[in-house]
Structure 1
Amino acid sequence: MEQIYNWRKNKNDISLHNVEIGSYNEQIGEHNTEIGELNTEIGSIKEKIGSIRETIGEHREQISICENNNRETPYYWVNQWVNNNLPSYSNSFDDSVSQGQYESKLWLKEKLEKIIFTSELYIDVIGSWFGFPLIEMLADVFDIKQIDLYDIDEECHKVTAQYINHFDYDFRIVQFKDFFERKEIRRRQLIINTSSEHMSDIITMKEYYKDYPIKPILAIQSNNYFEVEDHINCVKDVDELIEKNQIEDVLYKGKRSLPLYDRFMVIGKW
């Protein structure tokens, strides 16, 4: 009795284990199917990765082309000079050619070019910073005889000198320090101040400009960014800018809204 019992028990246990083995084999089969599907997906993903890498390579090639093209511009070489000789001004240089500064100067240029000047221009640029890209924009649309630049920072003059050497214009570019200290009487067709928030109103210098046979055109920009410590002369709107500078004949007035503040511009005559 004991022998047959053991026989049957072992046979039954064998059957149960075979059932379990079969179940596990089925699971293995299912997982192998999943592995196959995943391998197919992996293959597809690898193809996508390869395509993405090709696209990255194309972008890197375009970056290389852009960098090479930039080496053909004066801005590249002036930037290199600043980094090597005035590294503390590298951020200031970057700011001077930023998208915001570019658009601000372009706005000025596009409005000024609608004005007809009948002779070669003598231009004063107050708070000139590095002078460019404003000078380049003006040179594209006007017949210029001379531009006088005013900036109290002598390091800015050094950077501007590099620009002057690279652009090599056929008109004169003369650099001065403090605009408010130049007391000689002069005739100017165009007076530009794109940073009036940093200084006193230029109306205080009106007596040093001849107003015959025609009055000079004034182009002034400011903003309402009162929170900046260096902004000592902001305005709340463009009408205040007009009033403070005593512009009587307004040829243009406008506003550009930026993320942190509004920028205002007036073009006109005293």
Structure 2
Amino acid sequence: MTRATPPDAFYDILRGVAALTGNSVVADLARLVADDMPPEIWIAFNHKQIGSKRWLVDALAQVLPQPQGPVWVLGAWYGVLGALLLADERLTIPAVVSVDLDSTCADVAERLNRRHVAAGRFRAVTADMMALDFAGQDSAPGLVINTSCEHLADVPGWLATLPPGLPLLLQSNDYFREPDHRSCVASLEAFKAQAGLSETLFAGALPTKNYTRFMLIGRR
């Protein structure tokens, strides 16, 4: 007979892992689980999602560790990437703005990042990335991150709306079989051509079991 795991057991396990590793993000996740574990948080923290975000953070630490303004994360879901960015001691990031079209994400993102919200370094916004006006912001973004370029109908068209010279981190993939993927690319070179960046600081590919993820860091 399979015995269900009590919800408070996940909290105790996460607190134990946080104590063992000293990882502040795990401690923040434990508090989120204790509050009210949101649906699909297990997907947001699975090994594939975290592996991809770890690759992103490592690359950013190499080529752009100190963005000159807030980092805007588009399609940010539950704010996990923002948490990893603000926790990494190799990076000097003044603030993260976490953007998602789903109105249920903002509350979860701010609860996960509650320490950074209190310090004025994190806020979650419900908005359509296609309608954002970065040139009109009170504080110019130091970096805009979009890890979901494959979901956009027109990647070059979206990029054309951004201010010239804006620092960007973009990801896409070659997973053409997914129906929601409308702008997949077949290779890293194809992604470079699609993005048309004026300057490229990093270009790389991360093979996974079912697809390859591509990443570019540079300027519009």
Using the size of structure 2 for normalisation, the TM-score is 0.77
Question: Which runs of structure 2 are paired with 1:1-270 in the superposition (5 Å)?
Answer: 66-70=13-17, 73-83=27-37, 86=38, 89=39, 92-116=40-64, 120-132=68-80, 134-139=81-86, 140=88, 141-167=90-116, 168-183=118-133, 185=135, 186=137, 187-206=140-159, 209-211=162-164, 215-270=165-220
CA distance in 1, matches of 2:36, 2:195: 35
Contact 1:148 1:173 in 2 (8 A): yes
Residue 70 (structure 1) shift: 4.5
- Ranked by relative contact order (alpha carbons within 8 Å, sequence separation 6 or more), the top structure is 2
Distance change (3 Å), C-alpha of 1:76 and 1:204: same
What is the one-letter code of the residue matched to 1:267? I
Unaligned runs of 5+ in 1: 1-62
Per the alignment, in what secondary structure is the counterpart of residue 213 of structure 2? Answer: strand
Contact kept in structure 2, 1:151 and 1:157, CA below 8 Å? yes
Aligned residues: 198
Q: Which runs of 5+ in 2 are unaligned?
A: 1-9, 20-26
Separation of aligned partners in 2, 1:170 and 1:260: 39
The one-letter code sitting in structure 2 at the alignment partner of 1:154 is S
Contact 2:43–2:49 (CA<8 Å) still a contact in 1? yes
8 A Cα contact 2:155 2:183, kept in partner: no
From the superposition, tell whether residues 81 and 252 of structure 1 become closer, same or farther in structure 2 (CA, over 3 Å).
same
Cα gap change, 1:208 to 1:171, in 2 (>3 Å): farther
Distance 1:201 1:130, change over 3 A: farther
**Larger radius of gyration between Structure 1 and Structure 2:** 1
Distance 2:106 2:12 in 1: 31
Aligned AA (1:149):
S
> Alpha-carbon deviations, 1:43-89, whole Å to 9, x = none?
xxxxxxxxxxxxxxxxxxxx998454147711123234454xx5xx2
In 1, Cα distance between the equivalents of 2:73 and 2:173? 18
Distance 1:117 1:64 in 2: 32
